[in-house]
C-alpha cells in the first residue's frame, strides 16, 4: 500500500518529459511508471499539470541583521512563502557575526535558530568573517560535520565581514583539497568604498546613483582575481549572484582550462533591470550587486544556455518597507536585499520557459538538480528517481496569477514583482511525501523541516 500516488501528471526532470504516475512510501519515491495500479492512502490527480522535483534555493538570508534590526522574516514565515511557491529546500548562511565564536559554534547557533521553525529542509553555507590562520584550520572539520560549502565576502570591510586575499588563497586551497566548495560574494571592496566617498562628496546618493557607484568593474575585477587564485590552488569556487557580462566573459575564458568554477545568478538579475532605480521607491530595489542593464540581462540568459551559469537563486533578503525607507532613499543608508523566497519557479517559468529562453527541462536543472549536485544533496534531492526524497511540485502551466505582495504568507510587506502576471505558482508542494501546500494553503507543520547533513560527491 502506497502512502501517496500522484497520477496522470507530466513528469519533468532535467532529462525527460513524460506522462506517468509516482508512488511514495515513508517520504521516499518508490515507483515511477505508466498507469501504476497500486492502492494508496492518498491520491492526487495531476492531469494536465507538470510534476517536477521540489525547488532548491541555494542562497537565502532569513532574519538578516541591519543596524541592530532584522529582516522581516523568521524561519517559519520565510519557509511558508517558500512552500507557497514550490521551494522544498533552501540553503542559508551561518555567518560568524560574533567573532568570538568558532565556525562550528556559529553553525550550531544558526541550526538551533532554525530547528523547530522551518517547514522545509535546509542547510547552511558557513561564512567566516575573520582572516586568520586559525579559521583555515577549522574548515576541514566543518566539512566533516556535513557542511561542505562556504561563503567569503570580498567586500563589506567596513562591516567587518570581508575576507582578505590571503584568506581566499588558503581557504580555496583547504576547502578544495577536502572536497568542499567555497563561494564568494565577488565585489571589489576598495573601488566600492572610493566610489561611496565620491558619491558623498558630490551628493550623488540617490538610488539611480547606486548602479553607477557599483558598476560592472566592481564585480568583474573581483571575479577575475578570485578565479586566478582558485586556479593557482586548484580550488573549487562558486560565484554567488553573478550579474555582469564582464563576469561571464571571465568564466568563458576559464571554461575548459581546468579551473573549477561554478556560477549562480539570481532571479532579479534575470527579471528586473537598473531602470527600477528610477521608479517611485526605487531605493527599495537596492541590493548587492545592483540590478544591471538589459544588455547584462541578455548576457546572463546567454550564459545560462552556454552552461556558464548553472544555478539560479533568489538571494532572498526581506527587509520591510519601514527599514528599506529608513535611510531616506540614500543608497548607502538603505539595507541591501530583495524579498523573493518562493518566487524561483513562477519567475523562471514565466520569464524563461514561457518566453522561449530555456526549455522546461533546463529550468528543472537550474532551480533544483544542479543546486543538489553542487552542494552535496544529490543522492537525496534535486530529482525524481526511485529512492529519492519525495520532494515534488505540481503546477498547472495555464494558470496565471497577478503577483501581489500580500499573497505570500510572509511578514514582508512589499514585493519587487508586484503586478507582474506570473504562471507556475504550484497547486501542490510536497516535501518528503507530505503535502505542505495545497491550492494556495500552506499546511506543513511548523518545525517539520530537517537540517540536512551534506556531502559533495
Ligand atoms: O543585497 C544583498 N544581496 N543582500 C543580501 C544580504 C547581504 O548582506 O549579503
Ligand atoms: Zn546573498
* Of 73, 93, 95, 337, best ligand 1 pocket probe by most atoms within 8 Å of the beta carbon: 337
Confidence at residue 232, expressed as pLDDT on a 0 to 100 scale: 98
Q: How far is the CA of 64 from the centre of ligand 1 (A)?
A: 9
Q: What is the pLDDT of residues 22-61, one digit of tens each?
A: 999 999 999 999 999 999 999 999 999 999 999 999 999 9
* Beta pairing partners, 42: 4
**Closest ligand 1 atom number to CA of residue 153:** 9
pTM of structure: 0.98
Q: How far is the CA of 327 from the centre of ligand 2 (A)?
A: 20
Residue 236 · residue 173 · CB < 8 Å: no
Confidence at residue 151, expressed as pLDDT on a 0 to 100 scale: 98
Buried b (16+ CB within 10 A) or exposed e, 65-104: ebeeebbbbbbbbbbbbbbbbbbbbbbbbbbbeeeeeebe
- Which stretches of 116-244 are DSSP H helices? 133-144, 165-177, 189-202, 210-213, 216-233
pLDDT above 90: residue 296: yes
Q: What is the pLDDT of residues 302-324, one digit of tens each?
A: 999 999 999 999 999 999 999 99
pLDDT above 90: residue 136: yes
Domains, the chain, in order of start with CATH, read: 2-52+385-398+421-442 (2.30.40.10), 55-374 (3.20.20.140)
* Of 315, 324, 412, best ligand 1 pocket probe by most atoms within 8 Å of the beta carbon: 315
Hey, how many other C-beta atoms are within 10 angstroms of the C-beta on 180? 27
Residue 386 · residue 401 · CB < 8 Å: no
Q: Is the Cβ atom of 336 under 6 angstroms away from ligand 1?
A: yes
* Of 57, 59, 64, 73, best ligand 1 pocket probe by most atoms within 8 Å of the beta carbon: 64
Rounded Cα gap, residues 51 and 38, in angstroms: 19
Residue 4 · residue 390 · CB < 8 Å: yes
Region 217-244: what's the mean pLDDT? Answer: 98
Of 32, 30, 2, nearest in space to 20 by CA: 32
Query: What is the average pLDDT score of the chain?
Result: 98
Rounded Cα gap, residues 85 and 65, in angstroms: 25
Q: Is the Cβ atom of 183 under 6 angstroms away from ligand 1?
A: no
Q: What is the pLDDT of residues 396-433, one digit of tens each?
A: 999 999 999 999 999 999 999 999 999 999 999 999 99
Region 52-78: what's the mean pLDDT? Answer: 96
pLDDT above 90: residue 260: yes
Region 425-452: what's the mean pLDDT? Answer: 98
Q: Is the Cβ atom of 64 under 6 angstroms away from ligand 1?
A: yes
Phi and psi torsions of 392, nearest 5°: -140, 140
Confidence at residue 76, expressed as pLDDT on a 0 to 100 scale: 98
- Which stretches of 72-116 are DSSP H helices? 75-84, 103-114
Hey, how many other C-beta atoms are within 10 angstroms of the C-beta on 450? 16
Confidence at residue 101, expressed as pLDDT on a 0 to 100 scale: 98
Tell me the residues surrounding ligand 2 (ion) with CB < 5 Å: 315
Place of cell 573601488: 191
Confidence at residue 248, expressed as pLDDT on a 0 to 100 scale: 98
With a CB cutoff of 8 Å and minimum separation 6, the contacts of 36 are 5, 7, 21, 22, 23
Residue 29 · residue 388 · CB < 8 Å: yes
Ligand with the closest atom to the CA of 161? 1
Q: What is the pLDDT of residues 191-215, one digit of tens each?
A: 999 999 999 999 999 999 999 999 9
Confidence at residue 67, expressed as pLDDT on a 0 to 100 scale: 86
Rounded Cα gap, residues 84 and 12, in angstroms: 20
Q: Is the Cβ atom of 49 under 6 angstroms away from ligand 1?
A: no
Atom 5, ligand 1: which residue's CA is nearest?
Answer: 337
Give whole-number Cα distances, 125 to 100, 139, 142, 173, 177, in Å.
19, 12, 10, 17, 17
pLDDT above 90: residue 282: yes
Region 445-449: what's the mean pLDDT? Answer: 98
Q: How many contiguous H segments (helices) and E segments (strands) does the chain have?
A: 14, 23
Rounded Cα gap, residues 348 and 109, in angstroms: 33
Burial class of residue 64, CB neighbours in 10 A (0-12, 13-18, 19+): buried
pLDDT above 90: residue 68: no
Q: Is the Cβ atom of 287 under 6 angstroms away from ligand 1?
A: yes
Confidence at residue 398, expressed as pLDDT on a 0 to 100 scale: 94
Amino acid at each position: 500500500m502506497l502512502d501517496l500516488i500522484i497520477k496522470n501528471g507530466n513528469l519533468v526532470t532535467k532529462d525527460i518529459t513524460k506522462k506517468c504516475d509516482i508512488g511514495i512510501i515513508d517520504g521516499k519515491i518508490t515507483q515511477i511508471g505508466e498507469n501504476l495500479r497500486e492502492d494508496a492512502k492518498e491520491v492526487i490527480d495531476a492531469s494536465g499539470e507538470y510534476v517536477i522535483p521540489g525547488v532548491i534555493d541555494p542562497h537565502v538570508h532569513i532574519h538578516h541583521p541591519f543596524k541592530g534590526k532584522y529582516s522581516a522574516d523568521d524561519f517559519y514565515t520565510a519557509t511558508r512563502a517558500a512552500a507557497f511557491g514550490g521551494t522544498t529546500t533552501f540553503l542559508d548562511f551561518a555567518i560568524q557575526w560574533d567573532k568570538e565564536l568558532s565556525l562550528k559554534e556559529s553553525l550550531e547557533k544558526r541550526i538551533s535558530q532554525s530547528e523547530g521553525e522551518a517547514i522545509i529542509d535546509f542547510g547552511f553555507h558557513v561564512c567566516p568573517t575573520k582572516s586568520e590562520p586559525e579559521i583555515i584550520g577549522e574548515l576541514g572539520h566543518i566539512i566533516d560535520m556535513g557542511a561542505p560549502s562556504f561563503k567569503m565576502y570580498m567586500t563589506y570591510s567596513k562591516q567587518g565581514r570581508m575576507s582578505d586575499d590571503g584568506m581566499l588563497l588558503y581557504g580555496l586551497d583547504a576547502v578544495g583539497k577536502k572536497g568542499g566548495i567555497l563561494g564568494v560574494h565577488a565585489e571589489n571592496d576598495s573601488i566600492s568604498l572610493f566610489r561611496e566617498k565620491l558619491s558623498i562628496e558630490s551628493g550623488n546618493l540617490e538610488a539611480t546613483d547606486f548602479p553607477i557607484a557599483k558598476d560592472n568593474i566592481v564585480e568583474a575585477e573581483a571575479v577575475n582575481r578570485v578565479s586566478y587564485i582558485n586556479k593557482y590552488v586548484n580550488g573549487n569556487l562558486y560565484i554567488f549572484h553573478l550579474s555582469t557580462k564582464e563576469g561571464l566573459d571571465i568564466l568563458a575564458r576559464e571554461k575548459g582550462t581546468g579551473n573549477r568554477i561554478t556560477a549562480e545568478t539570481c532571479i532579479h538579475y534575470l527579471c528586473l533591470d537598473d531602470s527600477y532605480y528610477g521608479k517611485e521607491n526605487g531605493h527599495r530595489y537596492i541590493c548587492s550587486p545592483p540590478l544591471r542593464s538589459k544588455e547584462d540581462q541578455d548576457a546572463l540568459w546567454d550564459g545560462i544556455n552556454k552552461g556558464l551559469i548553472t544555478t539560479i537563486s533568489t538571494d532572498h533578503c526581506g527587509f520591510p518597507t519601514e527599514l528599506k525607507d529608513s535611510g531616506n532613499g540614500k543608497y548607502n543608508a538603505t539595507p541591501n536585499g530583495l524579498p523573493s523566497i518562493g518566487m524561483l519557479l513562477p519567475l523562471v517559468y514565466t520569464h524563461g520557459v514561457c518566453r522561449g529562453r530555456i526549455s522546461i527541462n533546463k529550468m528543472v536543472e537550474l532551480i533544483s538538480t544542479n543546486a543538489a549536485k553542487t552542494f552535496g544533496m544529490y543522492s537525496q534531492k534535486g530529482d525524481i528517481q526511485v529512492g529519492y526524497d519525495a520532494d515534488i511540485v505540481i503546477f498547472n502551466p495555464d494558470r496565471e496569477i497577478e503577483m501581489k505582495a500580500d499573497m505570500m504568507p510572509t511578514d514582508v510587506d512589499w514585493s519587487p514583482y508586484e503586478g507582474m502576471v506570473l504562471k507556475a505558482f504550484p497547486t501542490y508542494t510536497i516535501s518528503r511525501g507530505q503535502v505542505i501546500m495545497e491550492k494556495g494553503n500552506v499546511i506543513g507543520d511548523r518545525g517539520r523541516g530537517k537540517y540536512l547533513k551534506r556531502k559533495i560527491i
